[in-house]
Amino acid sequence: MASIWQYANPRKFIETTDRILPWVAGSSLMALVVGLVWGFFFTPDDYRQGSTVKIIYLHVPSALMAINGWIMMLVASLIWIVRRHHVSALAARAAAPVGATMTVIALVTGAIWGQPMWGTWWAWDPRLTSFLILFLFYLGYMALWAAIENDDTAADLTSVLCLVGSVFAVLSRYAVNFWNQGLHQGASLSLDKEENVADVFYHPLLLCIAGFVLLFVALVFLRTQTEIRARRMRALLARERLG
């Protein structure tokens, strides 16, 4: 069995992801359609929150992916720093807009849910605030990528920013918790099943989460392919200019 690092070859990466991308995208679509339809139409209303509770099928998965997206970028950045595989840096770059979009979805669905529940679109609750800060980190990260012309320099700088940003993001989370104890309900899911949302909501929610994970993977694969091709094109143009 060859080493896992062979997939760090750009060509190999594109070949492999080309093969599995339709399956990932297809199963993502399946899971999302089934999960959302099941969740929206075939679960009872919550006795306190009514039907508004059903927005968790979008809110929880997108919030999870907003955080996991950043963690994936962190891992990819570390791989770039240690092993200097270009695909890894480009995957981190590709994941950023997807993660940022997930953050926006989480914030917007949260606002829509919060309005009838708390009577306000926005509250400076620790969780909401942390997500807003996370969104700012995504923005800064993407802006830095966009600002630097040399790809390797950009990869190095954004990797360090991602590392430092991660530390500060965690720090901000604690700071925000200290600053304001909030309204937000506790985690809806945990491995300890006793504390979970009721079973009827639980299964479609799991399906939706799986769908979002697969959707994220599919989008990141697709965007990484694009980044690889764009990078290759820039390299060829640079080579041509130099003659």
Which residues in this chain contact another protein in the complex, by CB under 8 A?
8-11, 84-87, 133, 136-137, 139-140, 143-144, 147-153, 156-157, 160-161, 163-165, 168, 171-172, 174-176, 178-179, 231-232, 235, 238-239, 242
The residue among 110 and 151 lying less far from another protein, judged by its C-beta, is: 151
Supply φ then ψ for residue 189, to 5 degrees: -130, 140
Total length of the chain: 243
Q: How far is the CB of 141 from another protein (least distance, A)?
A: 9
Supply φ then ψ for residue 185, to 5 degrees: -70, 160
Q: Residue 2: left if φ>0, alpha if ψ -120 to 50, beta else—which one? A: beta
16 CB-near residues (< 8 Å, 6+ apart): 7
Q: How far is the CB of 64 from another protein (least distance, A)?
A: 21
46 SS3 class: strand
The residue among 33 and 238 lying less far from another protein, judged by its C-beta, is: 238
Q: How far apart are CA 3 and CA 191, in angstroms?
A: 33
Q: How far is the CB of 212 from another protein (least distance, A)?
A: 25
Q: How far is the CB of 120 from another protein (least distance, A)?
A: 21
The residue among 37 and 143 lying less far from another protein, judged by its C-beta, is: 143
For residues 52 and 117, is the Cβ–Cβ distance under 8 A? yes
Q: How far is the CB of 241 from another protein (least distance, A)?
A: 9
The residue among 56 and 176 lying less far from another protein, judged by its C-beta, is: 176
Closest to 218 measured CA to CA, from 55, 84, 32: 32
The residue among 6 and 51 lying less far from another protein, judged by its C-beta, is: 6
The residue among 147 and 191 lying less far from another protein, judged by its C-beta, is: 147
Closest to 7 measured CA to CA, from 82, 66, 124, 88: 88
Residue 50 pairs in a beta bridge with 46
Q: How far is the CB of 72 from another protein (least distance, A)?
A: 19
